[in-house]
Amino acid sequence: DVYGWFEGIAFPLAYFNLEVLREARDTFVVKDEDIIMVTYPKSGTHWLIEIICLIHSKGDPKWIQSVPTWQRSPWIETTHGYELLKDKEGPHIFTSHLPIQLFPKSFFNSKAKVIYGIRNPRDVLVSAYFFLRKMNITKKPETLQEHMEWFLQGSVIYGSWFEHVRGWLSMRDRENVLVVSYEDLTKDPRSTVEKICQFLGKKLKPEEIDLVLKYSSYQFMKENKMSNFSTIPDEYLDKGFSFQRKGVAGDWKNHFTVAQAEAFDEIYQKKMAGFPPKLFPWE
Ligand code: A3P
């Protein structure tokens, strides 16, 4: 089997180790100055990382052009990312796809800042389908229908989207948590970036914001070797893989059949029942 199971959630063993997952949750010390990007996979994680790194460098692209994404902002739960972070001094910038119950416990008593990225789950599903078709470390879905079944049951890596989002959004009123949507980023990147700057307490000049927007654009990221996944070893990915696939909101409409859209809606309504909908731009 390509998966290991931790607290009922599947993790591909090529990147994960159950001991590390436990250690990251139980003993990793989150610092007050840390900045953490948290998302369910395929919600625009790499885009957010790019924006944060560029805010950090006030729009100077040197850093994003010389260090790969997974080193600039390592995924704490991966074996490699944990290794990079655990003994590193000073404030960290890091990433995680962990559901809230598996996240480092020390965060909850810290002032570290979490940016939680959300995206229409239909687009998350489509994006993940095409991604998994190219990935060699996970189970490959044969059809979109098959992946939809896995997705709706939560039998995918990192578990159920619904539980992930409901869990993390329970933190949304905390001062140190900001929720950002992929849809807002595509619709109005400038004000979304300004909102992130404000949350991080970073004052950037308008021309520095221009640079953040320029270098985090879809086209620029697609061509930047440090951001487009070209540094990931070949054995993990099929040839011809492009990380920046389509980069739009609403692509699910090109892939779901009417019957699939209806079936999805029915389960969505059930799983999100009683949840304040105002936060979701896709509703
Ligand atoms: P699509 O597959 O719909 O194109 P993650 O980083 O969480 O894995 O998310 C990947 C998704 O973000 C992909 O979506 C990818 O194309 C999109 N993406 C990456 N960089 C982007 C950018 N600069 N602008 C818009 N979308 C971007």
Distance CA(92)–CA(74), nearest Å, equals: 9
CA of 87 to the centre of ligand 1 (A): 31
Distance CA(126)–CA(43), nearest Å, equals: 11
Of all protein residues, the one whose alpha carbon is nearest to atom 2 of ligand 1 is 127
CA of 164 to the centre of ligand 1 (A): 19
- Between 255 and 228, name the one with better pLDDT: 255
Of 147, 159, 186, 170, the residue nearest 40 (C-alpha): 159
Of 11, 83, 81, the residue nearest 41 (C-alpha): 11
C-beta separation of 251 from 244 below 8 A: no
pLDDT at 200 over 80: yes
Largest CA distance in the chain: 52
Which helix (DSSP H) or strand (DSSP E) does residue 189 occupy? Answer: helix 189-200
Count of CB atoms situated within 10 Å of the CB of 215: 21
**Known catalytic residue at 56:** no
Residue range 56-112, pLDDT digits in tens: 999 999 999 999 999 999 999 999 999 999 988 888 999 999 999 999 999 999 999
Tokens representing 146?
């098959």
Which residues touch 132 (CB under 8 Å, ≥6 apart)? 138, 139, 140, 141, 147
What does DSSP say about strands 35-39 and 9-12: parallel, antiparallel, or unpaired?
unpaired
Mutate to test the pocket of ligand 1, among 47, 70, 183 (most ligand atoms within 8 A of CB): 47
What pLDDT sits at residue 277? 65
CA of 184 to the centre of ligand 1 (A): 13
Of 258, 249, 259, the residue nearest 280 (C-alpha): 249
Distance CA(189)–CA(65), nearest Å, equals: 21
Residue 235 per-residue DSSP state:
G
Q: How confident is the model at residue 259 (pLDDT cuts 50, 70, 90)?
A: very high
Of 68, 74, 50, 69, the residue nearest 60 (C-alpha): 50
**CA–CA distances in Å: residue 1 to residues 154, 161, 183:** 18, 23, 36
Whether the pTM exceeds 0.80: the reply is yes
Distance CA(16)–CA(227), nearest Å, equals: 22
Q: Which listed residue (46, 56, 97, 147) is catalytic?
A: 97
Interface pTM (ipTM) of the complex?
0.99
Distance CA(18)–CA(244), nearest Å, equals: 30
Count of CB atoms situated within 10 Å of the CB of 208: 18
**CA–CA distances in Å: residue 208 to residues 74, 140, 194, 199, 215:** 25, 42, 11, 17, 11
Of all protein residues, the one whose alpha carbon is nearest to atom 20 of ligand 1 is 47
Residue range 6-61, pLDDT digits in tens: 999 999 998 899 999 999 999 999 999 999 999 999 999 999 999 999 999 999 99
245 lines ligand 1 (CB under 6 A): yes
Of all protein residues, the one whose alpha carbon is nearest to atom 3 of ligand 1 is 127
Count of CB atoms situated within 10 Å of the CB of 184: 16
